[in-house]
Amino acid sequence: MIGRAVANEFAKMRGLRVAAVAGTLIACTAGLSLLTAVTAPAFADPAGERSWEPLLASMALAVPLASPVLLAVLASRQVDIEHRGGGWLLSQTSGITPGRLCRIKFAALGCVVSAATALQSLLLIGAGVLLGVAAPVPVGAWAGYTASVAVVNLVLLALHVLVSARVDNQLVGLGLGVLGSVLAATATGLPPWLAHTFPWGYYALATAADYRDGALVMLAPDHSAVAALGAAGAALFLLATALFDRRED
């Protein structure tokens, strides 16, 4: 039943331009990263030892800026069709409660978001190779950063699925997404303790390379903080969706 319901969510994506939104996400993050990187002085000689670092650093700029708002769009499109199509009741009469439908939607969208997150990193690595970066790819740093971004993306996706389901007016969710993008983009400048206090701040905590006093440095990302966010997000999402099922009018 669950598998078939997830398959149905993919079928519903037709005509919702989910692929286009996911494509925009990839294009924005990879494209913006690449643009920032190639104009950086540290990338002046792509064949240099440390040429992967400006690429990583520019991702830390582009990803927080573009992701939150596009995640909000994805969640909103997939959830709003249930409000408009009488889908909550339809699912309920087939034995799928509203909370479960939210979890199913998260599973389907989560696949899309995870794939997009992986793809944006791979695209950037591909671009780096094409531009002549000769040094070996720092696999650990890239994989760590990509995984951390995926976790933060999924937590925000879950949040937006809940908001879009709970609040009929989709402008609320989209507004939250825009606010999130602003918060995420400014979080790199905040002290880490402050970035820990809201989910958008965790993009900053995952940053693997950044400029400090004008110099490019590799950082030790706080993977355990991101993992904790993921665990807390999963627990809260399960709790909230269980409450949706309890909340019978």
Partner 1 sequence: MPDIVTTDRLAKRYREHPVVHDLDLRIPEGCVYGFLGPNGSGKSTTMKMLLGLVRPSSGEIRIGGRPMRRSTRRELLGGIGSLIETPPGYGHLTGRENMRLVQRLLGLGDGQVARAVRTVRLQDHLDKKVRAYSLGMKQRLGIAMALAREPRLLILDEPTNGLDPAGIEEIRGLLRRLAGDGVTVMVSSHLLGEIDRTATVLGILGGGRLLFQGTRAELFARSAPDVLIDTPDPAYAHSLLSGGFESRLDGTSVRLAGLDDRATAKAVAHLVGAGVDVHGVRRGERSLEDVFMDLTGGGGL
For partner 1, which is the closer residue by CB, 5 or 183?
Answer: 5
Q: Please tell me the number of Cα atoms within 13 Å of 86 on its side-chain side.
A: 3
Q: Please tell me the number of Cα atoms within 13 Å of 34 on its side-chain side.
A: 19
For partner 1, which is the closer residue by CB, 228 or 242?
Answer: 242
For partner 1, which is the closer residue by CB, 89 or 178?
Answer: 89
Minimum gap (Å) between residue 157 Cβ and partner 1? 21
Minimum gap (Å) between residue 96 Cβ and partner 1? 7
d(CA 121, CA 199) in angstroms, rounded, equals: 21
SS3 string, 152-220, reads HHHHHHHHHHHHHHHCCCHHHHHHHHHHHHHHHHHHCCCCHHHHCCCHHHHHHHCCCEEEECCEEEECC
Q: What residues line the site for partner 1 (CB under 8 A)? A: 1, 4-5, 7-8, 11-12, 14-16, 81, 84-87, 89-90, 92-96, 248-249
Minimum gap (Å) between residue 20 Cβ and partner 1? 13
Minimum gap (Å) between residue 88 Cβ and partner 1? 9
Residue from 49, 48, 42 nearest 214 by CA: 42
For partner 1, which is the closer residue by CB, 50 or 83?
Answer: 83
d(CA 194, CA 100) in angstroms, rounded, equals: 34
For partner 1, which is the closer residue by CB, 15 or 41?
Answer: 15
Minimum gap (Å) between residue 161 Cβ and partner 1? 17
